[in-house]
Structure 1
């Protein structure tokens, strides 16, 4: 197996659209989804699809996706 190559996806919650928006400039890929799992699935598929064009030296089975998500904290009930 080839050495793992980790691509980091930055994700942020959009409360108005009620979706997670994520992007990774290194792949490149961007997507929106209602859950982090769905966002992960979309970006993972994109990464494998575009890897040959953008990272020809990276084998698809060595691609790993890391999602860094940020969301506004919900205040505790008083």
Structure 2
């Protein structure tokens, strides 16, 4: 078994579309979803499905997804 292989998913909130958009250039995978959890639910299996095409030498059980999320801070309503 190989050691852990970390792929970074970049996620950002699109205020106009009201969705989280995420992508990973290393696999490549991309998805949109209305919630952050739904984005993870979509992109995780997608990343594993695409893995053999991009990285045939990487075992699926060694894959870790690191999520980097960006969202504009909303001011506190007062």
Query: Residue 76 of structure 1 aligns to a residue in which SS?
Result: coil
Summarize deviations over 1:17-75 as a string: whole Å, max 9, x none.
11000111001001001111111121111111011111011001111111111100011
Q: Please say if 1:17 is aligned against 2:17.
A: yes
TM-score, normalised with respect to structure 2 = 0.91
Runs of 4+ in 1 over 6 A off after TM superposition: none
What root-mean-square deviation, in Å, do the aligned CA atoms of Structure 1 and Structure 2 show?
1.1
Q: 2:62 is matched with which residue?
A: 62
Q: How does 1:1-78 map to 2 (within 5 A)?
A: 1-78=1-78
Query: Residue 61 of structure 1 aligns to a residue in which SS?
Result: helix
2-structure distance, mates of 1:47, 1:76: 36
Unaligned runs of 5+ in 1: none
1-structure distance, mates of 2:38, 2:4: 22
Unaligned runs of 5+ in 2: none
